[in-house]
Structure 1
Amino acid sequence: MNGTIRFTPMRASGPLRPLALLIATLDVAVGWALVAQIVVMVTIVSIQVVLRYLFNSSLDWADELARLCFVWSIFTAIPLGIKGGAHIGIEMLVARFPTHLRSATARLVALLGAAMLLLVAKESAVMAWDQWDELMASMPASAAWFIVPLGVCGVHGALHLIWQALTGAHHVDPELQAELS
């Protein structure tokens, strides 16, 4: 790997092509959003450290904004882990299944996971709606912005799991796979 981040769409034709393009577009947007979130978080924390220790001063809102960026970065990165199959799985029983049954089980588990993530997205939308009028302690913004990334993660992650249920495959970058092997 040459250190360059690449986002490649899943190979698909026919009726799956729009889903593949949608997921790839979301992956690219999330990748850039992650970069921005981490840059903002590191910059704010660094400025806060300098202000506190060199000037005996601080920004009231810095901790809350850095925490918000942290929460967003964690939840928006989860679907990218799902995409590459990077999440932990327990396969003691399934590994002993015949190949065709192993594939069917993986598809079923992906479909159930997608359903659960869509439920998380729905419930987080309800919670965010209910809390939208509550403001953060140090910033004039809704506290519900801490809940919104759950919905984003739920929908984006569900799309990856639906892809896996339909195709039976993770989308792993071949160079990354070779590097990890």
Structure 2
Amino acid sequence: MKNTLLRINDRIYQLCIGIAGLSVLTMTLIIPWGIFTRYVLGSGSSWPEPTSILLMVVFTFFGAAASYRAGAHMAVAMAVERMPAPVRTLAAVLVQVLMAVVCLFMITKGFKLSFNTWNQFLGEMPGLRVGISYLPIPIGGVLTLIFVLEKLLLGDQSHRRVVRFDVLEESEGAA
């Protein structure tokens, strides 16, 4: 059961990295177009800036979830490292519980924000609902909560090697 959960979370983790990476890549392609149209063509496109901002929001929340699982998030451990071992264990559990509370806040308030703004449309992109632009907040909260629960129940996975699924599937097919 544990291995199945870890494999599922590995896929979620890789999905988060892929979405965050694709967001950054798309931003790097969109921003030069906005600069080109503004300074070379003399008439700026209206969509590159708001699209890049939305992609930055996607990158932030999906990247934060992946960063949390990888143990690459910001952490100040100086005070905790000086505590006795039993207190350190208690502090680690307390931190995870508080992270779960933050995730639940992101999920509930994020979905409420998305729901309350669903019938509004972005001025720069009239075809896009404002509620959609807020969806990365609760989705990122759900993803981070999955990794928080994983850390609480299965331990820290940041030092475990993530299995590449394309290699795994090829080796299973050859066997």
- The alignment's TM-score, normalised by the length of structure 2, stands at 0.82
Q: Distance in 1 between matches of 2:16 and 2:76?
A: 27
Residue from 151, 155, 167 that aligns with 1:164: 151
Query: What is residue 26 of structure 2 aligned with on the other side?
Result: 40
1:61 aligns with 2:47: yes
Q: CA deviation at 1:173?
A: 5.5
1:126 aligns with 2:117: no
- Which structure 1 residue ranges, 4+ long, deviate > 4 Å from structure 2? none
CA contact (8 A) 2:9 2:147 kept: yes
Q: CA RMSD in A?
A: 1.8
Aligned residues: 160
Q: CA deviation at 1:170?
A: 4.1
Residue from 97, 103, 118 that aligns with 2:83: 97
Match for 1:122: what amino acid? T
1:30 aligns with 2:16: yes
Q: CA deviation at 1:21?
A: 2.5
Range with bigger deviation, 86-95 or 20-29: 86-95
Q: Distance in 1 between matches of 2:154 and 2:84?
A: 18
Match for 1:157: what amino acid? T
% identity of equivalent residues: 19
Range with bigger deviation, 93-102 or 54-63: 93-102
Match for 1:151: what amino acid? P
- The alignment's TM-score, normalised by the length of structure 1, stands at 0.79
Range with bigger deviation, 104-113 or 64-73: 104-113
Query: What is residue 9 of structure 1 aligned with on the other side?
Result: none
CA contact (8 A) 1:128 1:144 kept: yes
Q: CA deviation at 1:106?
A: 0.6
Q: Distance in 2 between matches of 1:172 and 1:118?
A: 26
Q: CA deviation at 1:35?
A: 2.1
Q: Does the C-alpha gap of structure 1 residues 118 and 37 become closer, same or farther in structure 2, counting only changes over 3 Å?
A: same
Q: Distance in 1 between matches of 2:121 and 2:134?
A: 13
Give the alignment of 1:107-118 within 5 angstroms. Answer: 107-118=93-104
